[in-house]
Amino acid sequence: MQKVINVIALLSGLTSAALIGGAGYLLMNKDTMIEEARENVANAAVEAATNALPGMLDSAMPELPEVETIVRGLDQELRGETIDSLEIFRSDPIIQGDPESFSEFLCGRKIKAVQRRAKFLLFHFEPVGGMVVHLRMTGKFTLTETKEPPGPHERIWFQLKSGRLLIYSDLRCFGTLECHESLDAWEDSKKLGPEPFSQDFNAKSLRKRLRESQREVKPLLLDQGLLAGLGNIYASEVLFRCGINPCRKGKRVKLREWEKLVDETRSVLNEAIEKNGTSISDFRRVDEKTGEFQNFLRVYEREGKPCVSCGMPVQRIVQQQRSSYFCPGCQV
pLDDT, tens digit, for every residue of 177-228? 999 999 988 999 999 999 999 999 999 999 999 999 999 999 999 999 999 9
Alpha carbons 120 and 135: distance in angstroms, whole number:
8
pLDDT at 21 over 60: no
284 inside domain: yes
- Coil, strand or helix at 67: helix
In a domain, 196, yes or no: no
Domain span including residue 33: 2-52
User: Do 69 and 175 belong together in one domain?
Assistant: yes
Measure the CA–CA gap between 323 and 299, rounded to whole angstroms. 11
In terms of domains, do 69 and 187 share one? yes
CB 111 within 8 A of CB 79: yes
Q: Are 238 and 288 contained in the same domain?
A: yes
Q: Does residue 59 lie in a domain region?
A: no
CA distance 74 to 84: 17
With respect to residue 138, please indicate whether it lies within any of the assigned structural domains: yes
Q: Are residues 184 and 133 in the same domain?
A: yes
User: Within a domain: residue 57?
Assistant: no
CA pair distance 207, 251, nearest whole angstrom: 8
Mean pLDDT of the chain: 86
Give the per-residue pLDDT at 290: 84
Say how far apart CA 102 and CA 91 lie, in whole Å.
Answer: 10
Domain boundary among the residues 164, 191, 218 is at 191
Question: Residues 286-327: pLDDT tens digits?
Answer: 777 788 999 999 999 999 999 999 999 999 999 999 999 999
Position 171 in a domain: yes
Per-residue pLDDT tens for 67-126? 999 999 999 999 999 999 999 999 999 999 999 999 999 999 999 999 999 999 999 999
CA separation, residue 208 to residues 107, 164, 211, 253 (Å): 48, 51, 6, 11
User: What angle, rounded to 10 degrees, do the helices at 30-52 and 2-28 form?
Assistant: 70
Q: Are residues 76 and 15 in the same domain?
A: no
| pLDDT, position 284 | 59
Based on the domain organization, do 246 and 147 belong to the same domain?
A: no
- pLDDT at residue 136, as a whole number: 95
215 plus 308 within the same structural domain: yes
Structure confidence at residue 280 (pLDDT): 76
Same domain, 70 and 186: yes
Q: Where are the beta strands (DSSP E) in the chain?
A: 83-88, 110-117, 120-126, 130-134, 139-144, 154-160, 165-170, 176-180, 315-319, 322-326
Domain count, the chain: 3
The CATH number for 86's domain is: 3.20.190.10
- CA geometry: angle at 96 spanning 95 and 100, to 5°? 65
Q: Using the 8-state DSSP alphabet, how is residue 79 labeled?
A: T
User: What residues contact 207, with CB distance under 8 A and at least 6 apart?
Assistant: 253, 255, 258
79 within some domain: yes
SS3 of 49-61: the string is HHHHCCCHHHHHC
Q: Tell me, yes or no, whether 58 lies in a domain.
A: no
Q: What is the pLDDT of residues 148-160, one digit of tens each?
A: 899 999 999 999 9
- Residues 119 and 177 grouped into a single domain: yes
Q: Residue 60 — pLDDT band, cuts 50, 70, 90?
A: low
Which one is predicted more confidently, 279 or 135?
Answer: 135
CATH number at residue 208: 1.10.8.50
Are 177 and 251 in the same domain?
A: no
- Nearest Cα neighbor of 300 from 287, 312, 315 is 315
Q: How sure is the predictor about 29, in pLDDT bands with cuts at 50, 70 and 90? A: low
**Please, which residues have CB within 8 angstroms of residue 244's CB and are 6 or more apart in sequence?**
217, 253, 257, 261, 331, 332
Q: Are 332 and 229 in contact, with CB atoms under 8 Å apart?
A: no
Give the total residue count for the chain.
Answer: 332
Domain boundary among the residues 131, 157, 191 is at 191
183 and 72 both lie in a single domain: yes
Helix ranges (H only) for 196-321 are 203-210, 217-221, 232-242, 255-274
User: Whole-model pTM?
Assistant: 0.81
On whether both 245 and 294 belong to a single domain, the answer is yes
C-alpha 293/C-alpha 273 separation (Å) is 8
User: Active-site residue numbers?
Assistant: 62-63, 119, 322
Examine the fold and report which residue of 191, 225, 256 is the final residue of a domain before the chain moves on. Answer: 191
Strands 110-117 and 120-126, by their bridges, are antiparallel
